[in-house]
Amino acid sequence: MKVYPTNSIRNLAVVGHGDSGKTQLISSLLHLAGATPRWGKVEEGTTVTDYEEDSIARKVTLNTALAHGEWREHKINFIDTPGYAAFVTHARPALRVADCALVVVDGVNGVEVQTEKTWAYANEFIVPRMMVINKLDKERADFGAALDSARHTFSRAIVPFTLPIGQEANFRGVVDIVHMKAYEFDASGKAKEIDIPATGRELADKERERLIEVIAESDDALMEKYFEQGTLPEEDIIPNISKAIAASRLCPVFAVSSNTLAGLSSLLDGIIDYAPAPDTHEAEHGKASADSDDGEPLTRRYNAGEPFSAVVFRTIADPFAGRINVLKVISGHVKHDATVQNTTRGVAERLGALHSMQGKQLDKVEEANAGDIIACVKLKETQTGDTLADKAAPIVYDSLEYPEAAIAFAIEPKSRQDEEKISVALHKILEEDPSLHFTRDAQTKEFILSGSGQLHIETVVEKLKNRYHVEVALHPPKVPYKETITQRAEVQGRHKKQTGGRGQFGDCKVVFEPLPRGGGFVFEDKIFGGSVPQQFRPAIEKGIVEAAHHGAIAGYQLVDFKVTLVDGSYHPVDSDEHSFRAAGRKAFRNAIEKVKPTLLEPIMDVEVNAAIECSGDIMGDLNSRRGRVQGMEMRGKNQVVKAQVPMSEMLDYQSKLNSITAARGSFHMEFSHYDPVPGQIAQKIVEQARAEGRIRAEEEE
């Protein structure tokens, strides 16, 4: 395959709400660019980027997928991202490596909640944006209303670069307001220039004037010229469009239908002309090693002359090819069979063959320049988030943090044979999806699978069955309660055991104090002198941490507290690390009697989208679930109710919402914070924990 220079590469993360048509849009763009022999359709299960069985069956993108096409001697890398609430966090790593976000908005529904979510992710990584208003051939599609919803939600600097000619089934062409030309498209997506319709001329002139205003506002010198002349000459408009987009001061909008191909060639031209190339970045920042947080940060520019570095943003566990690591080359260039350093883990990796990804298809490439996205097969140690670099010029880029799991299920293998295979299979799935968590509960001995929502967990179960032939049963979701303390106390933990030979002795005095929510655990050593030798003090902390993991009242982890070690004593013969760990555990148990522990429950941010006439019933139901309504807003023709509700009250919400809205409402939720559980409910949780055997008996020392 051809090797592309950095300035001829465009990396786009295609983001937006579920069902806005992202996957079909990419498939249609690839078909128009001649990158695929046939035109893939979502309804037929033949698109390039939805190739997994469960994605095809559900007609839903479940994880990021890669595809590429060539247009006007440029390579466009498309990263298809999920838009449904349970999977939308996968858009974050895609936006981390993208040079531009292509935000897809449904022409019927306008901006929806996950569009806002992915826009916020783009803000987090300061990614320039372009927007597509899609599905304009559909019944009730309204470009103007969708554009207004985007401007209302995001910014007035959202400016249409193409306006639709015709509406709904009659949408057949666009007016290019940058060059003031009009085009009509045939069934193959080929454009033919036509006259600008007289009925749309006034709107085209108005939007072009808005474009000139936004470009003028992006630069002080241009603004001065605009005030003097009342407009800007052509030579100031075109060259400054790309600069304004790269600086996130302008978001161009394109009118398209991915089902009829209308407007897509204009979009492809716009991507080449205006989307930032990788080398428009000033630099990527990193550090010298995974353990070094001090000193000046290191930088790498998107330049083939710099030392090689790359960041891995996706891992795929392919049943045939093995582990596939997808990476973006940040600096330098790389050839096949190169040996590089995994600077995150401190190990060498031989890259072997390099590939460009077209959905599930791997196309070999000899080398890749800075800015390109490639895949490597069967790297031994490398995982998502790792940095690869030239060993002679090491650099480590920051890894992505994934949100805390919102829901947990106990999963039980259906047979002894499946029990032996489940850990291996889940380990491979976790490599693909770092937002999943898999643990084994020390008290109940259950396998616990945690994720962002019920649908997230259900897709993992399907993947276990279809891909790895492991069948499991799901038990009701477990709410991840936690515990904390509410008062300060000074206590002593003393462990003494005398046997026939050498005894055991450890003694410590510690102060327990509550911390604010989210404070975690802090251990402070304030011993002056040698009352406890230095080598035994970490053992006290370890003992307290072990005890806190098993909780104080219901077997849930104790969090948000500080322990200060203030005094203690030791025996020159009988003291050892084990004795002081036991002393730490005893100090914890002694403190529990005085610090008034309490249960904490996860509170979720909930957004419910439904017809306005349903909002009263929705608010009443949320209040009955101990929810606190935070506000309401109109989104398109629907009302959005925002509330904070305990997770334990939301486990059966979908069926109730279907009942209230005749299955036309939708909701999404994500973790917000932890709050204390009301007393009567806390008592029931403690009783249930006792019945389940979560509460540990006192350990015999």
Rounded to the nearest 10 degrees, how much is the dihedral formed by the CA atoms of 268, 270, 274, 280? -10
* Structure confidence by residue, pLDDT tens digits, 100-159: 999 999 999 999 888 988 998 999 999 999 999 999 999 999 999 999 999 998 988 999
**Cα dihedral across residues 352, 356, 357, 362: positive or negative:** negative
What is the CB-side half-sphere exposure of residue 278 using CA atoms within 13 A? Answer: 32
405: nearest Cα among 371, 367, 374, 433 = 433
Q: What secondary structure, in 3-state letters, does 403-450 show?
A: CCCCEEEEEEECCHHHHHHHHHHHHHHHHHCCCCEEEECCCCCCEEEE
678: nearest Cα among 587, 601, 583 = 601
Where does 166-212 show beta strands of DSSP type E?
173-176, 181-185, 191-194
Say what the pLDDT of residue 636 is: 67
**Cα dihedral across residues 315, 319, 322, 326: positive or negative:** negative
In angstroms, the CA 43 to CA 51 distance is 13
Q: Are strands 598-611 and 482-484 parallel, antiparallel or unpaired?
A: antiparallel
Question: What is the architecture of the domain spanning 407-478?
Answer: 2-Layer Sandwich (3.30)
Say what the pLDDT of residue 537 is: 95
User: Which residue ranges of the chain lie beneath pLDDT 70?
Assistant: 292-296, 404, 406, 441-445, 636, 663, 696-701
How is residue 629 annotated by DSSP? E
Nearest 5°: the CA angle 6, 363, 326 is 65
Residue 168 phi/psi, 5-degree rounding, is 50, -125
In angstroms, the CA 698 to CA 203 distance is 77
Q: What secondary structure, in 3-state letters, does 581-609 show?
A: HHHHHHHHHHHHCCCCCEEEEEEEEEEEE
Contact 161, 250 (CB under 8 A): no
Continuous H helices in 599-678? 615-624, 653-661
Say what the pLDDT of residue 491 is: 96
Is 6-197+248-280 a domain of CATH 3.40.630.30?
no
First-last CA distance in the chain: 67
Nearest 5°: the CA angle 622, 456, 548 is 75
Q: Are strands 74-80 and 65-71 parallel, antiparallel or unpaired?
A: antiparallel
What are 483's strand-pairing partners? 558, 599
What are 606's strand-pairing partners? 643, 669
Contact 232, 216 (CB under 8 A): yes
Q: Write out the two tokens for 610.
A: 């439904």
In angstroms, the CA 550 to CA 430 distance is 25
In angstroms, the CA 691 to CA 678 distance is 20
Say what the pLDDT of residue 699 is: 41
Q: Are strands 339-342 and 521-525 parallel, antiparallel or unpaired?
A: unpaired
Is 483-596 a domain of CATH 2.40.50.140?
no
Kindly list the domain boundaries of the chain, sorted by start residue.
Answer: 6-197+248-280, 284-389, 407-478, 483-596, 601-683
In angstroms, the CA 368 to CA 464 distance is 35
Residue 93 phi/psi, 5-degree rounding, is -65, -30
Contact 472, 464 (CB under 8 A): yes
In angstroms, the CA 36 to CA 52 distance is 18
In angstroms, the CA 327 to CA 309 distance is 10
Say which CATH class 601-683 falls into. Answer: alpha beta
What is the CB-side half-sphere exposure of residue 313 using CA atoms within 13 A? Answer: 28
Say what the pLDDT of residue 698 is: 43
How is residue 108 annotated by DSSP? T
Q: Write out the two tokens for 319.
A: 């049943």
**pTM (predicted TM-score):** 0.76
In angstroms, the CA 543 to CA 83 distance is 44
In angstroms, the CA 47 to CA 188 distance is 17
Long-range contacts of residues 43-48, Cβ cutoff 8 Å, at least 24 apart: 47/23, 47/359, 48/358, 48/359
Residues across the chain: 701
Contact 213, 199 (CB under 8 A): no
What is the CB-side half-sphere exposure of residue 475 using CA atoms within 13 A? Answer: 12
Which CATH superfamily, name and number, covers 284-389? Translation factors (2.40.30.10)
How is residue 90 annotated by DSSP? G
In angstroms, the CA 328 to CA 309 distance is 9
Q: Write out the two tokens for 241.
A: 């469009």
- How far from chain centre, in Å, is Cα 388? 22
100: nearest Cα among 242, 237, 233 = 242
360: nearest Cα among 379, 377, 380, 344 = 377
- 284-389 shares the fold of 6-197+248-280: no
